[in-house]
Structure 1
Amino acid sequence: MKKITLADKAGFCFGVKRAVDTALNYREKYNRPIYTLGPLIHNNDVVEFLKSKDIHSIEIGELNSLNEGDIIIIRSHGISPKIVEALNKKRLIIADATCPYVAHIQQKVQKYYELGYGIVIVGDSTHPEVVGINGCCDDKAIVSKDGLNIIEIPSKVCVVSQTTEKQENWENVIGIIAKKCKEFVAFNTICSATQIRQKAVYELSKQVDTMVVIGGHHSSNTAKLYEICKKNCNNTIHVENASQIPDDMIKNGKNIGVTAGASTPDWIIKEAILKMSENRDLELNEQLAFMEENDVQIAVGDIVKGNIISLNEKEAFINIGYKKDGIIPLKEATREENVSIKDIFNIGDEVEAKVISLRNDDGYVILSKIEIERETAYEELKDAFENKTVLKLSIKEAVNGGVIGRYKGVRVFIPASHIELFHVDKLELYVGKELDVNIIEYKFQRRGTKIVASRRELLMAQQFEKESKAWNELDKGQIIEGEVKRITKFGAFIDIKGIDGLLHVSEISWGRIEKPGDVLKVGEKVTVYVLEADKENKKLSLSIKKLISNPWNDVEEKYPVGSIVLGKVVRFADFGAFIELEPGVDGLVHVSEISYKRINKPGDVLKIGEEVKAKILNVNKEEKKVSLSIKEAE
């Protein structure tokens, strides 16, 4: 039984397919002749097909035949800056289909050439891609296939490669440069798809008795595939299409391997395989079967999977198994700022994305990764609402009445009253923070899904846990430190391990205090005595006065009768004035003891805050009374 195996990655590469699609899209968009600078593809069948679509190849020397406003396609090989300048001078409409891989090489060469490095290109000096790269360093690069022509070399060089070069040639050149150059930087710019294609045919050509390489005779990458296969399989041929495959090979081949260059479209590969399998007694491998299914239709909203085949700074290109490749723009890959697409993806990564447009100007299917994440986010938010699970929310902005958070890109509103257990004046202080929340409302509306979150239940649970622990650690008679949280007319509330304890004004000092704010400040640390810790009724009473000795305990010893004492006038009554001897001990000077002169009221001769001398007439510890005389002291 005859077996035909198609090598992995055979046929159109990303860059060539992109160029062809670009030309066809521009032809459809403008409905007038399109021109390509040089043959768009190294395949005569495709070139003829493009001619039938009014897409024509011209050379640089024919640019004068074009008029202002004509459309020119820059093929995947790219061109030099000088030629770009010439096209702009002609005021042509330019469609740049330079392969992103090639554009990346050109940028590297230009950068290091401007930094003073000599440039070495591993490749074919006459190949259009190499010519374009060389133009980025004023055509001063050393171009080498094997390194043998490298005799003299600058003191420092930058080495790059033609995208379709063989890995073996790259390694040979690098080996020679390493011996001749003191300083060099090397970028292996062989296209990953090229490496995979070459590796696949290397393995396949060792397993078959016949090898068919399909591609243009002027195609560099096809020629390299032929060289690789010929080393392992003597019965290897290079053809451009099915008509060139010899009949005896079709008849005698039992185990046939097939590969195709980057400029060979699927329909030419399929035509060749079908010709070799006229008896239909054929085992097709999975890739050919996949090619047969490639006419599958996709629609906006579909979820597709694929592998990343190329990257630039702002886009990821993906093979999604469709007639067109997919593209994920940076804004559809992440919501983070100041990042490159290369920070998110690597070539070869498998990604899942949502189709949001079937066509852009370059003919790609536009995909979105964040739309997948958004759908997942909505499901997670709904689940959190139904099951009361906790989610982490990034706060992005403060608005009237609350703050706006984002959960994987989905907008969530937190009312101001649900941010803390107390009133919040400055909502903007929460911007940039991450908060744990519960979803308390999830409602579908015509203008979008309304999602509301809250921290209150979480904070209350945390507070309850903290308070429960604190109550278990509190007992009457403890001396403990706390922080003044609020001050009122009747006292102050002190935070003790998360519990508000009341320090009544009468428990602040032995002395008379008009306003607690006169002696305490919010935020101040104070040491207090626990008068009462009522765990059932959650009542905590505190005292500072309890920590200070009662000044009346030894009042008789401190203030002997007949002694002269200095005090401060603190208040008046109709019958006299009260003099503070120390905090908590006031003595009364009767109006008759203020002066030898007759006075109507104490305020006629005394002032609040005034210091006066007085004689101690009597001390009564039990009744907490001290009688004083100012006139006797005089």
Structure 2
Amino acid sequence: MKEILLAEKSGFCFGVKRAVDTALNYREKSNKDIYTLGQLIHNNDVVELLNSKGIHPIEINNIDSLKENDIIIIRSHGVSPKIIKMLEDKKLIIADATCPYVAHIHKKVKEYYNLGYGIVIVGDSSHPEVIGINGWCNDEAIVSKDGSNVDELPEKVCLVSQTTEKQENWEKVLKKVKEKCSEVVSFNTICNATDVRQKSAMELSKNVDTMVVIGGIHSSNTAKLYEICKGNCSNTIYVENAGEIPDEIIKNGKRIGITAGASTPDWIIKEAINKMSENKELEFNEQLAYMEQNDVQIAVGDMVKGTIISLNEKEAFVNIGYKTDAVIPLQEASRDDNASINDLFRVGDEVEAKVISLKNNDGYVVLSKVEIEREKAYDEIQQAFENNTTITVEIKEAVKGGIIGRFKGVRIFIPASHIELFHIENLADYIGKTMEVNIIEYKIQRRGSKIVGSRKAILTKEKLENEENAWNSLEKGQIVEGQVKRLTNFGAFVEVNGIDGLLHVSEISWGRVEKPQDILKVNDIVKVYILELDKENKKLSLSIKKLIENPWNNIENKYPVGNVVLGKVVRFADFGAFVELEPGVDGLVHISEISYKRINKPSEVLTLGEQVKAKIINVNKEEKKISLSIKETE
């Protein structure tokens, strides 16, 4: 009798399944056009299936044909930051289905590249996963399959691998790099699922007379499975689906092994099993049962999806496709103490939850939605910390030295010195408010977490942006309105569009000003003229007197020689007294012109502030001098 054996680990890996599920979920929820950046997976049958559902592959050089708000799915291979930026600039809705294992490689490559390490990737230089990884180090990585091209390396190297690479290739390159470099940081990023799948195929191919490897013709991991199986079983074939399996294999094979690449869905594997079974009903059912039991392997910490099948007051029961059903207790369904199961779920609802126990007292798997929300919150906080982005928190309480905010249930401490750019008198005023913060400290430890937030950088950025906009709105020679903010002996500081400008005492009036306080008061609104504007050094010089006509214009017409004028004594000198005729115009009465009597100093006959008549005896416009005589009026 013919025997058909399926490798223990076959078909869709976690990352690929996640990508396909992402695409199908978007199809269910949206009527928008949906595209995948390149073929979502290396399997033509699956690509055709997605295409029939309106999910179409598109190459990067055709992105310009997409419209704003079209949905674009990034496949599990991942892409470079430049590609992401391009998609964002096009204002597309990005569904990032990058495999978490690949995203982890991106993070490591970026981190060590920024630390000055040269990057070496073990893998195929033309594989989309490798191209995407290389983008996270500015496309400067050395890609090597066997170490033959790593003769010239920098002193410090960070080594990573394509997730589907063979272990022996990793070891070859690692050995070569260690011989060449003084400092090597290595991360064996070959996916564990890939390794397990390859080992499973290795063992099975040693114990069969025929081996069938199923997968996309362009699938790298399937090609590696074929190489492994061919090395143990000469009668190994590589097919994309059941239709490509030759009749002679079906007729002549006695002990047939089957394995499948990470891009091969269950239904293609089942079709192949069905085609090769002598007693199709019997053989198919046996293999189907085997696959059903092994398709869902769960462990504490796994994320699972399922359907609500029944409810009671305290629990929701869920079919997760496992050998036993699961249950979500009320306390694991919501953080809200007033919530009820019937408010949260309906029979038939699709749910996603985290496994926190494989078996309770009643034999059910125990799931938690609260843990998913909490972990998602921690992930978002960590992303905000690593990428220096902001999150919005709700302030719950004031404590010594700061306030406590909550982000989706996670506690965040905000020190008092990081709440505003000024001192705060009452921290309790912030309770109940929401605010955007940066995460400046993020430490997760077994005994608890320490997460610290800050508004300083946000407020400083806003202030700088406002200042930049204000500077850009000002020009030399412009007349603007400002508010007097403070007074000093040398002038006044006037705020114009949020910028402090100096109004020097000499620019307040054409007349002599002893103290700015004599003319201006704090909070006065004044019109000023922009004398000088230095954006680079943030200096703004202002003037009021520039707005008033120069009193020396037409001075000879205003004060004809020989006429008598009334003025005020404003100051004394040994050689005479100065008389103000109008603000900005003083005349000098020489001591010899004060009186016919002999005097030693002007103050003997005159007092400051006294109104006196004087005859104009000379006007010099160029030197801004007017000579007066008091005695000529006697």
Instruction: Give the TM-score of the pair, scaled to structure 1.
Output: 0.49
Instruction: Give the TM-score of the pair, scaled to structure 2.
Output: 0.49
Higher relative contact order (CA 8 A, sep 6+): 1
For the pair shown, the structure with the greater C-alpha radius of gyration is: 1
